[in-house]
Amino acid sequence: MIQLIPVIVFAPLAGFLINAFFGSRLGKLSGWIATFAVFISFVISAGVFVEMLQKPSDDRAIHYVLANWLDVGKVHVGISFLIDQLSIIFMLIITGVGALIHLYSIGYMKSDRGFGRFFTYMNLFIVMMLQLVMADNFLWTFVGWEGVGLCSYLLIGFWYEEKKNTDAAKKAFIVNRIGDFGFLVAMGAMLAAYGSLNYLDLLGSGSNVIDGTKHLGVVAGMHGGDWTIGFITLMLFLGCTGKSAQIPLYVWLPDAMAGPTPVSALIHAATMVTSGIFLVARSNMFFALAPVTMGVVAAVGATTAVFAAIIGIFQNDIKKVLAYSTISQLGYMFLALGVGAFTAGVFHVMTHAFFKACLFLGSGAVIEAMHHEQDMQKMGGLKKYLPFTFWTFMIATLAISGIPPFAGFFSKDEILWNAFSRGSVLLWLMGAIAAMMTAFYMFRAVFLTFFGKERFDAEHHKPHEAGWHMTLPLIVLAALSIVGGFLNIPHVLGGNATLEHWLAPVLEQGEQTAQVSFSEASAGLEIGLMVASVAIAICGILLAMRLYKKKTTLVRDEAVLGTPYRIAVHNFYVDEAYDKLIVQPLYTFSDRFLYKIVDVKIIDGFVNGLAQITDGTSKIIRRIQTGVVQNYAVMIVVGLLAVVSYLMIF
Amino acid sequence: MGLLSVLIFFPLVGALAALLMRGATAAKMVALATALVTFCISLVVYMKFDSNLAGFDMKEQVQWVVLPGLHLSYFVGIDGMSMMLVLLTTFLMVITLIGTWNSVTKNVPAFMALLLLLETGMLGVFLSLDLFLFYVFWEVVLIPMYFIIGLWGGKRRIYSAVKFFIFTMSGSLLMLVAIIWLGVEAGRQLGEFTTDITKLYQVSRSLPIDVQHYLFLAFALSFAIKVPLFPLHTWLPDAHVEAPTAGSVILAGVLLKMGTYGLIRFNLGLFPQASFDYSGLMTTLAVIGIIYGALVAMVQTDIKKLIAYSSVTHMGFIVLGIFSMTREGLQGAVIQMVNHGLSTGMLFMMFGMMYDRRHTREISDYGGLARVVPLFTVFFGIAVFSSVGLPGLNGFIGEYLTMMGAYQSSVLNSWSYAIFSATGVILAAVYLLWMYQRFVFGRAKGTSAAAVDGHDHSSHASTHSPSDHALNDLSWREIVAVVPLVIFMVWIGIRPMHFLATSQSAMYKLSDDLLQQKSGIVFPEQQSQPSKPMQQLPGGLRR
């Protein structure tokens, strides 16, 4: 299987090229080619995974050198892959969930004129996302990082005739570029300070990677609190806030819902937006040595989790609810990373990929059935029309709400427990509040969409389930949302934390190094908090039930809440503030000052002024050239006199 | 006559032949054939060229002006850097001729002759090893471009052509003074007036330091105008806007590189000490140019102006890399020259194709091209993303290496240049993607909308051009012109070492010499000290 590792990348690359050149002539076949390509990647990834399972835990990492890429001065970067316990999990998610969503898209996009183009972009996305997680160095990860940004841009603006969509695409790319600026700066600092960009050189490895030995990176023997490390990690985290939609750069993700729904499921929920978590987990030794950055990560994560959840409560567009929910859940993951619980963060990436992809695909099925209506106020009572969609959506909602034994319960509870034991009571409280709001807005969405009376013209329009392409992925993802959490049942519940042991060679050292106040807490307290968090979630569900179930007329949120409602429903006016404080002033400054004054008036004014002075002067001097011989004679005499008198005086 | 001389003067022969042609098509055929043969000659040169050689290869030296005490030689030779630029020149000339085949309609033989004369001048600039000869070719380049803009340009062509001429000329006069000074100094030291740079490398370094500074500035001013470096850039947008498409492509693609080439070959080569002393000034101007050019590009409503200002940004990265004087920075500068030639050349050329169809440069007159001309949209998009610096395409390699060079540079000794220049990465996405959105996305605009707009371009457009709805997509000829550019963009992006290897020995040697000299003269104590990379901290964070 190890020899087949390049195929993991080349299969979707081939799919991309075939669809790019012949997509328009292939018709429906292009969707199948794309799906099959991703499926091949999944099968080989699974094969590699199985092979890794059979080896001892510190002998599982594979370093596969494909080609040399850039080799100038101190920059030695290859196209080579580091496949270890961390990257294989991401690879399985990307190709597994990716294949399901490709299959779903065949149904969802069937009547779109851009069918071939859609799958071209989707396959390119898979290629780039795989580069991001498989690379053995920061720079090639960055190639994937920007590559997925490109695909995100192309897919958000897929229906390019609407200005709203291309605006959203452009915004996504530019906001991500602000983050990428941080990534670039961090890479420069690493190279200048430590002379390498390779993960193994910098971070070392807990596995026998090269020549059968463990590799010590430059981090070995370093102490926390180093300024360079602090700077590097803060800049890397800036990159993460862009790609993973955290405060202050989260603003692109809600708008990104302009893309087709499968795109939202794959890119803006399951895979691309978790790149930031991957990056932090990958460079966990760097972050563990930077306590200030860790504090920032935890604080940003917790704040984003609460903030986005508040906005999510007030959204009426079903996809917007899920978008803010994604931002909030990503905040959770960063909360975990920030307190040094890297495993918990990665665990939540996995379970979130299952239930959020399921939710998005479910919402896609609803939107399709409702003829592209996304406003939940115009839905209701869909349970009887869309039974499959309802049940899968319900399972995923229970999972995200943290109800045992669904997947989200285990991962969310681990994050909350770590926030408490490794962080502080405040972080736990923020996480718990966010959990309650999550349960509330998700069940609000369920009740508004599937329960109550139909708030659309049910006489003439009978919604129905789409074909098996769309139902099968829903069922698989719902099943995973049920069982996914069993991978890491904590010891206190009698499990053996399988995932934690699996990831230990990559993450354990960082988790131990992270300088956090670890309070030795009893099993009783852990169980107690667990019960509390479930109780909180149930409170949220009951509240949503009370407010939204069986309502024939909608609750007038605005009437009840007034101004706070208006502020929240408008995303706290963050977009408007960015526009007024940054975008507009920068544009006006560039236009009115830099261009129209500095360029046109000052520099060109100077140049043209010089020309005019020359012109003017010569017009004056020209008058001397009268052409009258007598005048010249006078001048000669005057000149002579002047020269002679000069010589006599000096 | 050696191979390099054949390469330089073959286009001149073609120019004369084109001038003798009666018909437009015949002249174009002659020009294309000449450009193709020249490209093939340059490929032969490439195959014979020994890239392991750090010095000059295939040298040809003939006494040219022999007077008592005055020896001017015709002296040409090639190293890795000039090899890359020669290939860029001959390649772009072929592409330009194909891509703009029907753009010029009046007085075609003269136009073709001027383009080929331009090619001779550019190749001469990149291959001269004698400063006096270099100066002659430098001026030879000026004249055809002046006529191309002034005779075949747009409405304000006279203003732009004169501005272009005066700007460049005023810089090069100072350079001439500096060249003569160096020659005289060589006469004093070596006993004969010579401007052979292989000899001058020794002469210039023994001059008093203040003289070195003056001479450095004389050369630097001339080259900085050509690059153009902020604040000497204002001739560029005017020249580009008014120039015919072929002129824009060659101007952006090759002519600007003469400036950065000169900075490396002569400023760094002849005056290392002055280069160290002025590196802060030069990089500061470069970084200002990177940010300033991007901000001003953002607010342009004329596509050609926007692309012109984007050149200021991209060329700023090259100057940043040059004055970092590191291996990464110099190699990045060379590859960035090629990249800028490919991506900006392609942007100008493809916009020219659209201009031939619609006859307007205002972004607001366009929209919805994606549906009407999908192939055009895809190729234009690739050029845009190459220019944005997307990894996987060529532009990233150059920007990344120059930035990494600036980080590591012991000459600049601060991370701040690199960090500020990295904001250009954000701004590039802003102005280019916004332009791309307005240009190709949205709904197709018709002539009616353009006529209502009422500016002079549009009213012109309403009579001459079809609406966006009825545009033809790229023709086979146009596809033939753009596909090779795209191939190289991807090739450089994914296998950059195939290209970087050519200039590696030359640039590594230059960088190593410079840094050795720096550590030898300025900080002699540093040589004995083992370097501790851990303590290299950014300027603001120094312990």
Task: State the pLDDT at residue B278.
Answer: 94
Question: What value does the mean pLDDT of chain A take?
Answer: 89
Q: Please give, rounded to a whole number of angstroms, the shortest distance from the CA of A454 to a CA of chain B.
A: 35
Residue B55 has pLDDT above 60, yes or no: yes
Residue A424 has pLDDT above 90, yes or no: no
| Residue with the larger pLDDT of the pair B536 and A363 | A363
B residues 151-180 near A, CB within 8 Å? 163, 166-167
Chain B positions touching A181 (Cβ under 8 A) are 422-423, 425-426
Task: State the pLDDT at residue A99.
Answer: 95
A162's CB contacts (< 8 A; 6+ apart) are A258
Task: State the pLDDT at residue A491.
Answer: 83
What is the band of B169 on the pLDDT scale with cuts at 50, 70, 90?
confident
Whether the model pTM is above 0.95 = no
Q: Please give, rounded to a whole number of angstroms, the shortest distance from the CA of B296 to a CA of chain A.
A: 6
Tell me if B298 and A587 make a contact (CB, 8 A cut-off).
Answer: yes
Task: State the pLDDT at residue B458.
Answer: 41
Chain B positions touching A188 (Cβ under 8 A) are 403-404, 406-407, 415, 418-419, 422
* DSSP 3-state percent helix, strand, coil across chain A (nearest 5): 75, 5, 20
Which residue of chain B comes nearest to A113, CA vs CA?
A: B371
Mean pLDDT throughout B412-427? 90
What is the band of A555 on the pLDDT scale with cuts at 50, 70, 90?
low
With pLDDT > 90 as the criterion, what percentage of chain B qualifies?
64
Tell me if B534 and A75 make a contact (CB, 8 A cut-off).
Answer: no
Residue B454 has pLDDT above 50, yes or no: no
Token pair for B365: 């007159």
Task: State the pLDDT at residue A570.
Answer: 81
Mean pLDDT throughout B190-208? 86
Task: State the pLDDT at residue A550.
Answer: 65
Token pair for A442: 């998700």
Task: State the pLDDT at residue A504.
Answer: 85
A565 close to B (CB below 8 A): no
Round the CA-based radius of gyration of chain B to a whole number and report it: 23
B532 close to A (CB below 8 A): no
A161-165, A603-607, B110-114, B388-392 — which is least confidently predicted?
Answer: A603-607
A17 close to B (CB below 8 A): no
| Residue with the larger pLDDT of the pair B462 and A91 | A91
Q: Are B367 and B443 in contact (CB under 8 A)?
A: yes
A39-48, A518-527, B149-158, B441-450 — which is least confidently predicted?
Answer: B441-450
Task: State the pLDDT at residue B2.
Answer: 87
Which residue of chain A comes nearest to B417, CA vs CA?
A: A185
A439-453, A561-575, B28-42, B380-394 — which is least confidently predicted?
Answer: A561-575
Residue B405 has pLDDT above 90, yes or no: yes
In this structure, is residue B86 part of a structural domain? Answer: yes
Which of the given ranges, A464-473, A617-626, B122-131, has the highest pLDDT on average? B122-131
Question: In this structure, how many other beta carbons lie within 10 angstroms of the beta carbon of residue B22?
Answer: 8
Question: What value does the mean pLDDT of chain B take?
Answer: 87
What is the band of B467 on the pLDDT scale with cuts at 50, 70, 90?
low
| Residue with the larger pLDDT of the pair A149 and A550 | A149
Token pair for B256: 């600007």
Task: State the pLDDT at residue B460.
Answer: 44
Q: Please give, rounded to a whole number of angstroms, the shortest distance from the CA of B18 to a CA of chain A.
A: 36
Which of the given ranges, A169-173, B57-61, B464-468, has the highest pLDDT on average? A169-173
Scan for tokens 């570029």, then name that residue.
Answer: A177
A223's CB contacts (< 8 A; 6+ apart) are A289
Task: State the pLDDT at residue A519.
Answer: 60
In this structure, is residue B326 part of a structural domain? Answer: yes
Q: Are A587 and B299 in contact (CB under 8 A)?
A: yes
Task: State the pLDDT at residue A515.
Answer: 60
Which of the given ranges, A103-107, A448-452, A593-597, B160-164, has the highest pLDDT on average? A103-107
Task: State the DSSP string of A537-577.
Answer: HHHHHHHHHHHHTT-SSPP-HHHHH-HHHHHHHTGGGHHHH
Task: State the pLDDT at residue A569.
Answer: 79
What is the band of B266 on the pLDDT scale with cuts at 50, 70, 90?
very high
Tell me if A188 and B422 make a contact (CB, 8 A cut-off).
Answer: yes
Task: State the pLDDT at residue A43.
Answer: 96
Residue A205 has pLDDT above 80, yes or no: no
Q: Are A223 and A289 in contact (CB under 8 A)?
A: yes
Mean pLDDT throughout A138-148? 94
Task: State the DSSP string of A397-436.
Answer: HHHHHT-TTSHHHHHHHHHHHHIIIII-HHHHHHHHHHHH
With pLDDT > 70 as the criterion, what percentage of chain B qualifies?
91
Mean pLDDT throughout B516-525? 63
Task: State the pLDDT at residue A557.
Answer: 63
Mean pLDDT throughout A370-377? 87
Which domain range does residue B140 map to?
3-520
CA A587 – CA A589 distance, rounded (Å) = 5
Which residue among B295, B405, B533 sits closest to A193, beta carbon to beta carbon? B533
B403 close to A (CB below 8 A): yes
Tell me if A70 and B437 make a contact (CB, 8 A cut-off).
Answer: no
Number of domains into which chain B is organized: 1
CA A303 – CA A295 distance, rounded (Å) = 12
Round the CA-based radius of gyration of chain A to a whole number and report it: 31
Which residue of chain B comes nearest to A170, CA vs CA?
A: B433
The type of residue at B450 is: A
In this structure, is residue B533 part of a structural domain? Answer: no
In this structure, is residue B354 part of a structural domain? Answer: yes
What is the band of A7 on the pLDDT scale with cuts at 50, 70, 90?
very high
Token pair for A360: 């998005």
A220-229, A373-382, A438-447, A605-614 — which is least confidently predicted?
Answer: A220-229
B296 close to A (CB below 8 A): yes
Tell me if B401 and A192 make a contact (CB, 8 A cut-off).
Answer: no
Task: State the pLDDT at residue B12.
Answer: 95
pLDDT digits (tens, 9 = 90+) for A234-285: 999 999 999 999 988 999 999 999 999 999 999 999 999 999 999 999 999 8
Which residue among B163, B441, B533 sits closest to A160, beta carbon to beta carbon? B441
B residues 303-362 near A, CB within 8 Å? 326-328, 331-332
Task: State the pLDDT at residue B22.
Answer: 85
Task: State the pLDDT at residue A432.
Answer: 93
Which residue of chain B comes nearest to A197, CA vs CA?
A: B404
A243's CB contacts (< 8 A; 6+ apart) are A145, A148, A149, A176, A179, A272, A273, A275, A276
Which residue of chain A comes nearest to B443, CA vs CA?
A: A161
ipTM confidence: 0.90
Task: State the pLDDT at residue B523.
Answer: 43
Mean pLDDT throughout B262-273? 92
Task: State the pLDDT at residue B128.
Answer: 94
Chain A positions touching B429 (Cβ under 8 A) are 173-174, 177
A632 close to B (CB below 8 A): no
Tell me if B425 and A184 make a contact (CB, 8 A cut-off).
Answer: yes
Q: How many CB pairs under 8 A join A and B?
A: 157
Query: Which H/E stretch holds residue B5?
Result: helix B3-20
Q: Are A443 and A401 in contact (CB under 8 A)?
A: yes
A residues 239-268 near B, CB within 8 Å? none
A164 close to B (CB below 8 A): no
Chain A positions touching B437 (Cβ under 8 A) are 157, 166-167, 169-170
CA torsion sign for A381, A382, A384, A387 is negative
